Amino acid sequence: MYASIASGVLFGARGHLVDVEVHVAKGLPGFQIVGLPDASVRESRDRVRAAIQSIGVKFPDIKITVNLAPSESPKSGSALDLAIAIGVLAADQHIPLTALDGLAAVGELGLDGSVRPVPGVAPIVGAVADHDVIVPCASQREAMVAAEGAVRPVADLAEVLGVLGRGDPWPVHPAPDAPSLPPSPTDLCDVRGQSLPRQALELAAAGGHHLLFVGPPGSGKTMLAARLPGLLPPLERQAALDVTMVHSAAGIALPPGGMVTRPPFRSPHHTSSQVAIIGGGSHSLRPGEVSVASGGVLFLDELPEFAPSVLDTLRQPLESGEVHVARAAVSARLPARFQLVAAMNPCPCGHRGEKPGSCECGADRAQRYLARVSGPLVDRFDLRVSVTPPDADLILSPQPGESTAIVAERVLVARDRAISRQGCLNAQLSGAELDRVAPLDSEALDVARSELERGRLTGRGYHRVRRVARTIADLADSGDRIDAEQFALALQLRQALQPQGRSGRCAA
């Protein structure tokens, strides 16, 4: 007897439709899976056998062949368990074949017949398109984000047999509560003082500029960075869908509504491997942190402590907004449209920036430390801000800073202004467009000329400063021309990491 049911597997952040064909016939008893299963798929034989026996059905002791079509692409993961079990039941005549028409199943089986959630339900459900789909209870909301047909949550294999084999109605499982509450929202009003870094955050949010904080330990770099996502507007529908797919594929708990609507904030530890950051792995090409942070903020704390090879792999996604991960047999394109925020100490001892004269590293040692972050990467940061520890008076002051809500409103207005003018955020402006949308007034030109002539600013640096100045002007709604104060402020906001301050020779 032959049966077939649709299911899917995950590659990168995309689901692929797989037809699970089961053939049961006389012959030596055996249970074989073909169609390039990897070890994790082959193991499902044992789970399927045990699950079927657990729900009180005799497992057919004749020859069972399972084919996963298309059979030339490798399959991985346990998402096919449920479909294989249903296929076996149908081929062994416990379920009528007609019941499987237009039906798909996704889920892992427990030995007791329970149906368990798997990562990537949303993209897999998206791939099975118009089928009704049976999913684990816990993945119900996730499936609904992408489903075109009906979503049928089930708790165990017995329920499936009841509905398909005996004509019971589909069981009703209320959608589970969120597995964990989102972290308590961080508000900008907790930050005391820090005018310059606050300004940088606001500009980063409004212009999409990559941002680097340089400052001694305890100066509040991490606290500031964590407040950037709050300033960003909610994701638009398509972006939210893409982000949800990636989060589902990465096995990250989705918010209660099932859809990721807030820009994500990811801060991988500095020991993270290249594969963890970029994505990959030989089996299913899991999305890396750059993809999970897509649409939001990737925060790299202690930037120089990351392996240089890891940092250099960031350059391509920063440029193109996606990563193309390829392995011998498989390849995947993953979204990576993230905003990079990084924090670092200004020197190995960390005391530089506390007060002039408190650092004990010589100039050479500090220079070697900074050299661990490659020039091309540093160059991507439009905003490079020195953070100094706040005064005791400010920390103790009862006066809260401006709150996230107020700043986010200004950010939204400035973003709209940029998008309606040039169709993109200011960080994406090219040199030619800058000439059109960010002309300098004569006084600002004087400042720019003197900086360029003294070698404190390079041609490329000039473009970057102008982009930031454009965002400053958008936030202030001060018209088309950039004035001297706006230009000087933009310069001030990329001051950090110039070896001897702006008086140094190595301006970038």
Helical spans, DSSP H, in 356-440: 363-370, 375-379, 392-396, 404-422, 431-437
CA separation (Å) from 345 to 48, 69, 392?
Answer: 54, 53, 21
Q: Which of helix, strand or coil describes residue 383?
A: strand
> Is residue 397 a contact point for another protein (CB under 8 A)?
no
What's the min distance (Å) between Cβ of 439 and another protein? 18
| Residue ranges in 330-349 that form contacts with another protein under rule CB under 8 A | 346
> Is residue 361 a contact point for another protein (CB under 8 A)?
yes
217/251 with CB nearer another protein: 217
> Is residue 40 a contact point for another protein (CB under 8 A)?
no
> Is residue 452 a contact point for another protein (CB under 8 A)?
no
* Euclidean distance between CA atoms 276 and 264, whole angstroms: 17
* Euclidean distance between CA atoms 303 and 345, whole angstroms: 8
What's the min distance (Å) between Cβ of 462 and another protein? 14
What's the min distance (Å) between Cβ of 217 and another protein? 13
> Which residue shows structure tokens 């909610």?
234
Residue from 359, 377, 411, 437 in contact with another protein (CB under 8 A): 359
22/497 with CB nearer another protein: 497
> Is residue 458 a contact point for another protein (CB under 8 A)?
no
- Residues in contact with another protein, shown as a per-residue x/- string from 398 to 437 under the rule CB under 8 A: ----------------------------------------
What's the min distance (Å) between Cβ of 453 and another protein? 10
- Residues in contact with another protein, shown as a per-residue x/- string from 80 to 99 under the rule CB under 8 A: --------------------
> Stretches 180-188, 262-270, 359-367, 423-431: which one binds another protein (CB under 8 A)?
359-367
| Residue ranges in 211-240 that form contacts with another protein under rule CB under 8 A | 214-215
Q: In the sheet that 30-34 helps form, which strands lie side by side, from edge to edge?
A: 30-34, 63-69, 14-25, 2-11, 103-105, 132-136, 151-154
Residue from 105, 387, 411, 414 in contact with another protein (CB under 8 A): 387
Residue from 450, 477, 480, 506 in contact with another protein (CB under 8 A): 450
Specify the amino acid at residue 85: A
> Is residue 350 a contact point for another protein (CB under 8 A)?
no
Specify the amino acid at residue 409: E
Q: Please report which helix (H) or strand (E) contains residue 303, including its range.
A: none
What's the min distance (Å) between Cβ of 70 and another protein? 59
What's the min distance (Å) between Cβ of 448 and another protein? 11
Structure tokens at 73: 């692409």
357's CB contacts (< 8 A; 6+ apart) are: none
179's CB contacts (< 8 A; 6+ apart) are: 138, 253
> Which residue shows structure tokens 């009862």?
398
Residue from 12, 113, 193, 296 in contact with another protein (CB under 8 A): 193
282/397 with CB nearer another protein: 397
- Measured over the CA atoms of residue 254, residue 129, residue 135 and residue 59, the dihedral's sign is negative
> Is residue 500 a contact point for another protein (CB under 8 A)?
yes
Q: Please report which helix (H) or strand (E) contains residue 263, including its range.
A: none
* Euclidean distance between CA atoms 228 and 237, whole angstroms: 21
Structure tokens at 391: 């005064």
Residue from 130, 148, 168, 391 in contact with another protein (CB under 8 A): 391
The separation between the first and the last C-alpha atoms of the chain, rounded to the nearest angstrom, is 72
> Stretches 11-19, 189-197, 230-238, 279-287: which one binds another protein (CB under 8 A)?
189-197
> Is residue 492 a contact point for another protein (CB under 8 A)?
yes
Residue from 65, 261, 388, 458 in contact with another protein (CB under 8 A): 388
CA separation (Å) from 272 to 210, 275, 277?
Answer: 21, 8, 7
> Is residue 491 a contact point for another protein (CB under 8 A)?
yes
CA separation (Å) from 425 to 92, 142, 388, 406, 418?
Answer: 59, 31, 29, 20, 6
What's the min distance (Å) between Cβ of 472 and another protein? 7
Contact of 468 with 457, CB cutoff 8 Å: no
Task: Count the Cβ atoms, other than its own, within 10 Å of residue 78.
Answer: 18
Which stretches of the chain bind another protein, using CB under 8 A?
193-196, 199, 214-215, 346, 351-353, 355-363, 386-388, 390-391, 394, 447, 450-451, 454, 472, 484-489, 491-492, 495-496, 500-503
